[in-house]
């Protein structure tokens, strides 16, 4: 699959930023609310949006918490943030080769691994977007894997439940390992709204691998 080029100026939903930075959604909201992210890396107009490059700073802030003080992390974010902001119109892939070392007297911090991971995760998120289709004429517009009738969030639920990959592949023979992983990324970045619709009908192309029924408990009289 051809890699999807992403721009440093891409604006993400908080749930997407959480996936790219590999943190919890509450952590993305925290760095905004507590002004940990510098101005220019997020927008509050018409819903919260976070710049793709901000994921580098978010991941660094939380991953380095056990090794650096809050002051040291904030210093590195300010220094690296000013460089990232200057490069905001460039493709993320082009930023990987830049110098991301920050120095403060005896302290030296290299944010290059975080820039590289942000680029890699953005490419995977872009690929996940490409394989997903929402068609109002298919399953009521629920996101499906392109070229199939397999609901993305059903696949992701199997992954989240910890089912072995071979069982998921058996349940969805129209998919391969990469599409299953991308479906999980897409679903995490775009959580389903509301409670899942109860149905006894399997998606087209799915097969039952194992079935277990749990009897309902009777209410105490």
pLDDT of residue 192: 83
Count CB-CB contacts under 10 A for residue 170. Answer: 15
CA distance 13 to 107: 33
Percent with pLDDT over 70 in the chain: 83
Average pLDDT of span 195-210: 46
CA distance 57 to 125: 18
Which DSSP state fits 120?
Answer: H
Q: What is the 3-state secondary structure (H, E, C) of 91-112?
A: EHHHHCCCCCEEEECCEEEECH
Nearest by Cα to 51 from 10, 95, 94: 10
Using CB atoms within 10 A of its CB, is residue 19 exposed (0-12), middle (13-18) or buried (19+)?
buried
Quote the pTM value.
Answer: 0.81
Give yes or no: residues 214 and 114 share one domain: no
* In-domain check, residue 1: no
pLDDT of residue 105: 86
pLDDT of residue 210: 46
pLDDT of residue 196: 46
Q: Are 100 and 55 in contact (CB under 8 A)?
A: no
* Number of domains present in the structure of the chain: 2
Q: Tens of pLDDT along 175-193?
A: 999 999 999 999 999 998 7
Q: Tens of pLDDT along 7-33?
A: 666 899 999 999 999 999 999 999 999
Per the structure, the complete domain to which residue 46 belongs is given by 11-125
Give yes or no: residues 27 and 49 share one domain: yes
Give yes or no: residues 167 and 186 share one domain: yes
Give yes or no: residues 188 and 214 share one domain: yes
Q: Tens of pLDDT along 84-111?
A: 999 888 888 899 999 999 998 889 999 9
């Amino acid at each position: 699959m051809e890699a999807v080029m992403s721009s440093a100026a891409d604006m993400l939903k908080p749930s997407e930023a959480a996936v790219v930075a590999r943190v919890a959604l509450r952590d993305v909201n925290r760095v905004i609310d507590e002004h940990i992210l510098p101005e220019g890396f997020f927008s509050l107009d018409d819903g919260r949006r976070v710049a793709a490059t901000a994921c580098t700073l978010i991941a660094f802030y939380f991953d380095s918490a056990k090794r650096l003080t809050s002051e040291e992390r904030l210093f590195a974010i300010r220094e690296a943030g000013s460089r990232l902001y200057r490069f905001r119109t460039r493709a993320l892939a082009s930023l990987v080769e830049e110098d991301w070392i920050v120095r403060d007297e005896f302290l030296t911090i290299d944010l290059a691994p975080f820039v590289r991971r942000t680029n890699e995760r953005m490419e995977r998120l872009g690929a996940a977007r490409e394989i997903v289709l929402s068609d109002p004429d298919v399953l009521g517009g629920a996101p499906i894997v392109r070229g199939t009738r397999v609901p993305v969030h059903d696949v992701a639920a199997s992954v989240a439940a910890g089912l072995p990959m071979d069982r998921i592949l058996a349940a969805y023979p129209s998919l391969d390992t990469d599409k299953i992983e991308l479906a999980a990324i897409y679903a995490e970045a775009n959580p389903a709204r509301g409670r899942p619709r109860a149905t006894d009908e399997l998606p087209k192309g799915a097969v039952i691998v194992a079935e277990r029924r749990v009897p309902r408990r009777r209410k105490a009289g």
